[in-house]
Amino acid sequence: MIEPRYPVYVVSRGRHENCLTAKFLIKDGTPFTLVIEREEQEAYAKYGRERLQLLPLSNRGLIYARNWVLEDAKAKGAERFWILDDNIHCIKRRFQGKRIPCNSGVALAAVEDFADRYENVAIAGLNYEMFLPNGCPNPPFVRNVHVYSCTLLNLACPIRWRSYLNDDTDLCLQALSLGWCTVLVNAFLIFKVRTMKLKGGNTGIYQGDGRLKMARALERLWPGVVTTTRRFKRPQHHIKDAWSRFTTPLQLKANAPTPDPERYAMKLEQVQPIQSQHLAQWYESLEAR
């Protein structure tokens, strides 16, 4: 079984009843560390005590927890580390325009191999399934845009989380402003619960005028780059020129190995009855080859 070689962290609070990310990683056999507060140790024990890492301090918020993870990965000598939100159902592979559940270990390892071929990838990660519907043509990755919720961070890049409002966007802007690249992967996707649909975590900060506060806070951090607008009938931050002003190219390492697609040994298998007639016909056409 292929596993990620960099440490995988899941930061969670108040979601011991349904920590979705922990569930699918355990199901896939992907090693990870579940970072929690000491007071919730017994509640999260069902996910495996050996996976639990207790934060030194409690009630310090998500930014404290994420920066603690960064320092922990650095102390362990890692060059990069994964940090995943705790409300992800699974990872999927885009194949012939379809979104198909796949093993998370293989997906994370493939992104690691890609990022490690370049000198200047600060942040890499997986796009959201909701943004790439079936049949929608998209490149396997996009350079120099936002990367959220399932991210691989390069510890050589001197960035840190600093705002609990739109923290991932701020982190990407920090990296890009320093001349590094970000990579948003479309070849693999995360199936994630929509914001405010799962209790616990950061749900509270989105309530009331939370979204407006988030957009304004990011605008204050990045004047001239971020503006506050309204999309989908709610306040939303907007990156000037839709990120296109960040043009730093990827720099291939001199000794970068040639990619080997066969290394991942991915095979399409039917694991449950297919309800969609269109999907059944597609699968049968593959089997006939």
Q: Which domains does the chain have, with CATH numbers?
A: 8-287 (3.90.550)
Structure tokens at 52: 């639990």
Residue 7 above 80 pLDDT? yes
User: Cα(169)–Cα(66) distance, rounded to whole angstroms?
Assistant: 14
Give 259's DSSP letter: P
Helices 104-115 + 20-28 axis angle, to 10: 90
Q: What is the mean pLDDT of residues 175-194?
A: 95
Judged by average pLDDT, the poorest of 79-83, 119-123, 198-202 is 198-202
Q: What is the pLDDT of residues 245-273, one digit of tens each?
A: 999 999 999 999 888 878 887 888 888 88
Check residue 206 and give its pLDDT. Answer: 47
Long-range contacts of 100-104 (CB under 8 A, 24+ apart): 100/268, 101/191, 102/188, 102/266, 103/1, 103/2, 103/28, 103/29, 103/30, 104/24, 104/25, 104/28, 104/30
Q: Band the pLDDT of 286: cuts 50, 70, 90.
A: confident
pLDDT mean over 184-195? 90
CA 164/CA 103 separation, integer angstroms: 31
Please report the pLDDT score of residue 203 as a whole number. 52
pLDDT in tens, 23-76: 999 999 999 999 999 999 999 999 999 999 999 999 999 999 999 999 999 999
Looking at the DSSP assignment, which residues form a beta bridge with residue 144? Answer: none
Contacts of 67 (CB under 8 A, 6+ apart): 160, 161
> Is residue 236 scored above 80 in pLDDT?
no
Say if residues 191 and 91 touch (Cβ distance below 8 Å): yes
Confidence (pLDDT) at 187: 95
**Mean pLDDT across the chain, nearest whole number?**
89
Average pLDDT over residues 15-28: 97
Residue 276 has pLDDT above 80, yes or no: yes
The mean pLDDT value for 140-163 works out to 96
Report pLDDT for 218: 83
